[in-house]
Amino acid sequence: MKNKSLLSVLVVGGIIMTGCGNTEEAKKEEKPATEQAQPTAEVDLTTELTAYQQFALEQMDQFLMETENFVKLFKAGDIEGAKAAYAPARMYFERSEPIAESFGDLDPRIDGRLADIQEEGKGEEEWTGYHKLEYALWEENTTAGYETVADQLLADAKELHALVQTVEVTPDLMMTGAVDLLNEVSTSKITGEEEIYSHTDLYDFKANIEGAEKIFEILRPKLEAKDKELVATLDEKFKAVDDLLAQHAIADGGYISYEELTEEHTKALAAAVNQLGEPLSQMGIILE
Q: Which residues bind another protein (CB under 8 A)?
A: 171-172, 175, 227, 229, 233, 237, 271, 274-275, 278-279, 281-285, 287-288
CB of 228 to another protein, least distance (A): 8
Helix (H, G, I), strand (E, B) or coil at 232: helix
Nearer to another protein, 18 or 187 (CB): 187
Between CA 91 and CA 113 the distance in angstroms is 16
Closest separation in Å from C-beta 243 to another protein: 14
- Minimal distance in Å, beta carbon 268 to another protein? 10
Query: 84 or 240: whose CB is closer to another protein?
Result: 240
Nearer Cβ to another protein (35/172): 172
Question: Given the complex with another protein, which of 38 and 281 has the nearer CB atom?
Answer: 281
Cα gap 110→64, rounded to integer Å: 12
Backbone angles phi, psi at 96, to 5 degrees: -110, 25
Report how far residue 207's alpha carbon sits from residue 142's, in angstroms, rounded to the nearest whole number: 27
Question: Which CB sits closer to another protein, 83 or 237?
Answer: 237
CA–CA gap between residue 277 and residue 218 (Å, rounded) = 17
CB of 276 to another protein, least distance (A): 9
**Dihedral-angle region of residue 127 (phi above 0 means left; psi in -120 to 50 means alpha; beta otherwise):** beta
- Could you tell me the smallest distance in angstroms from the CB atom of residue 178 to another protein? 12
d(CA 23, CA 15): 12
Q: How far is the CB of 186 from another protein (least distance, A)?
A: 14
Closest CA to 111 of 95, 124, 127, 88: 127
C-alpha 89/C-alpha 203 separation (Å) is 10
Q: Closer to another protein by CB, 85 or 219: give it.
A: 219
CB of 72 to another protein, least distance (A): 44
Q: Could you tell me if 238 and 216 are in contact, meaning their C-beta atoms sit under 8 angstroms apart?
A: yes
Measured from the Cβ of residue 144, the count of other Cβ atoms closer than 10 Å reads 8
C-beta of 211 vs 277, nearer to another protein: 277
CB 2 within 8 A of CB 55: no
Let me know: does 63 contact 158? Beta carbons within 8 Å: no
